[in-house]
Structure 1
């Protein structure tokens, strides 16, 4: 049963009325970010229906390796089975419902319930249940499975009985962009969990625009501030940066063509169930990485790439993730709702599997830009949450450069309509 299943008809009508009132090109009304009913609807319509990015292959590289993830009221185990396959299960014992694994990462031979010692194999089959009657059928009590799939080394799960049918097509279009970086072979260099004091949609909306990027001095050393502008709309104060971008973009396109790297923009953010955007793009200065001077943060490059000067591969997937994949490392971002006004942002940095900490890379240098940027964004999201909770708040118009925020809201509202009026 989803959290929305017991919702009374008047409450559903209230939510539908709010969806119908939304003015295109304007921000959402306050209750979308503050109301418990909307939060429960988001869990039901989004987080139990869609493919969600939750981990990377590098977190579960060997048989028995596992990690857990909290998705609203659900807890999911992602693990590598004895045959090397990827599995996902609900983190619930089939006996009396005790949680099998605590939060975090680890390695197991079997999954043993700490309550009554029911024991499951890495394939989810019940192996041992003490003191059961002779006619007890263990085959009836395997762990409940969750759909799981790796896309170029990025691990997604879906709680729905029938996942979105378009995900395999999206995966097939995205994987050629990711494949040269060999993320499945990478290793985790760092991971950071940041709880932001704002609704999950504010976290996603904030990431989808650079209208506020003057608040990210570390990021803007290499990330061009003209993101989201068209050629004819670049303001006077950004024209010099735009000229640098055009020169760097021309050079990068020649490099991508020479190396056979796909780079063209694919942007289908709200036209399909699994909205996504992917593109290779130039970086400023040395153009190699997110560092103060743009030079590589790791000496060992991902995959067999011959040069670090590749700009960055930017991937965005509705509803909860974005990624930056560079020549020397990759950064993944996963957004998970905790409460109407609390959100977990999990950031993971990946490097070449043989890169040595302190020799090939310094963790502080590797993580500095996005750690600072995440913390700055968290403060902005908290300010936004305070504002939308104020009775004086009313939706305002998006600027043209915020078109991806509008696309996110359009996609999101379509999912709510599907849930409320199946």
Structure 2
């Protein structure tokens, strides 16, 4: 006799601290639907950048589950985020991706909206029709140093202020609001979105899988077992920790916030940030670890200010003096996830003069492709009847325990 599947609440209750999640939390369609409602409708999510829409009339449409959002810059130069749903009979106003518009015109019946979202023209609706109550619906959003976060709920988490207060001063010297997108790459990973995030939140796998990235990453920053080190490696680790502490103090004293800010398992808006040293020449995540763009971002003048990491539950980011790498994670199904990566440079940087696109992007293009293969392997494994949750490394996978603990708490808070 076939046994009934456990409920979502049972799966959540079965999660053992210090271990990966039960299989059903990665693979089941009902769990995916719950994830989309809880984590992608009721939480703040990364949706784009102010520099996606640098000029009035620029629009960028992002589809998230059943929702579609228009990020645009209006006639006054202000950022707006609107629901991409015509107030007539619901047709999509704009297609996904980038466009340039003077007005927002629904292609179905030509209802026409100002860039503010206000309905200005609705043909053949009669003299008594009231346009004032048919504006496009606005989406709640915040800009964090030029990174746009939106919440589809009418009651978004209030602790977004912690992210804003932490990241505005860290990002100010990079002036991401006035950067430009030099390149964009979309990769579909054949795995659950949580596996994508888990893979990004640990570098236990990096040495064996990311040779390009490891030229600039320092392995000791991502956890190690002290008891397993030789005397020489122990001395190397001690020297690195002392140097890292000294450099972090110097960065802070120079006005560059750098110390780690950790996620709060009990909070709603989940993020982590820290400024880390880079290996090799120490300037950038490029094939030679030197700056890949001659024109530095914002007001930056020092190429040796490390890499500011910022992780969230649907994003990861790297900010270096010469360029930034911005990744956005959009679930497409229980076993399919879009990873959209953008490389930012100074708005006045000239391709072929200040930077070469292949040189600028090759490290993270390779890394993202490698991660896609790892996530596909992981999803195939958790879908196997032989899978059972395995233990996290207490040295190299502490961020996975933090993420899993936050995920489980959020599921319970929302009735699971």
Same fold (TM over 0.5): yes
What displacement does 1:130 show? 0.5
User: 1:140 aligned to 2:133?
Assistant: yes
User: 1:276 aligned to 2:290?
Assistant: no
Q: Say whether the 8 Å CA contact 1:198–1:381 is kept in structure 2.
A: yes
What displacement does 1:250 show? 5.3
Separation in 1, partners of 2:9, 2:90 = 35
User: 1:56 aligned to 2:49?
Assistant: yes
What displacement does 1:249 show? 2.3
Separation in 2, partners of 1:231, 1:27 = 20
**What do the CA deviations read for 1:261-285 (whole angstroms, capped 9, x no partner)?**
1111111242311121111110011
Aligned counterpart in structure 1 of residue 322 of structure 2, from 328, 344, 348: 328
Task: Determine helix, strand or coil for the equivalent of 2:222.
Answer: coil
Separation in 2, partners of 1:241, 1:348 = 35
**Partner residue, 1:89:** 82
What displacement does 1:244 show? 6.8
Task: Determine helix, strand or coil for the equivalent of 1:131.
Answer: coil
Q: Say whether the 8 Å CA contact 2:69–2:83 is kept in structure 1.
A: yes
**Partner residue, 1:5:** none
**Partner residue, 1:376:** 370
User: What 5-or-longer segments of structure 1 have no aligned partner?
Assistant: 1-9
Q: Say whether the 8 Å CA contact 1:263–1:279 is kept in structure 2.
A: yes
Cα distance, 1:250–1:18 mapped onto 2, change above 3 Å: closer
What displacement does 1:231 show? 8.2
Cα distance, 1:380–1:293 mapped onto 2, change above 3 Å: same
**Partner residue, 1:168:** 161
**Partner residue, 1:312:** 307
Task: Determine helix, strand or coil for the equivalent of 1:92.
Answer: coil
**What do the CA deviations read for 1:298-341 (whole angstroms, capped 9, x no partner)?**
11111222211111001112x20111000111111110100100
Structure 1 segments, 4+ long, off by >3 Å, are 230-248
Separation in 1, partners of 2:350, 2:235 = 39
Cα distance, 1:210–1:233 mapped onto 2, change above 3 Å: farther
Q: Say whether the 8 Å CA contact 2:175–2:297 is kept in structure 1.
A: yes
Aligned counterpart in structure 2 of residue 262 of structure 1, from 257, 282, 285: 257
Aligned counterpart in structure 1 of residue 185 of structure 2, from 184, 192, 205: 192
Q: Say whether the 8 Å CA contact 1:186–1:352 is kept in structure 2.
A: yes
Cα distance, 1:148–1:15 mapped onto 2, change above 3 Å: same
Q: Say whether the 8 Å CA contact 2:287–2:362 is kept in structure 1.
A: no
**Partner residue, 2:387:** 393
Task: Determine helix, strand or coil for the equivalent of 2:7.
Answer: helix
**Partner residue, 2:21:** 28
- How many residue pairs end up in the alignment? 410
Cα distance, 1:107–1:333 mapped onto 2, change above 3 Å: same
Separation in 1, partners of 2:233, 2:342 = 31
What displacement does 1:90 show? 1.2
RMSD: 1.9
User: What 5-or-longer segments of structure 2 have no aligned partner?
Assistant: none
Separation in 2, partners of 1:285, 1:303 = 24
What displacement does 1:402 show? 0.5
**Partner residue, 2:63:** 70
Cα distance, 1:164–1:181 mapped onto 2, change above 3 Å: same
Q: Say whether the 8 Å CA contact 2:392–2:398 is kept in structure 1.
A: yes
Of 228-237 and 30-39, the range deviating more from structure 2 = 228-237
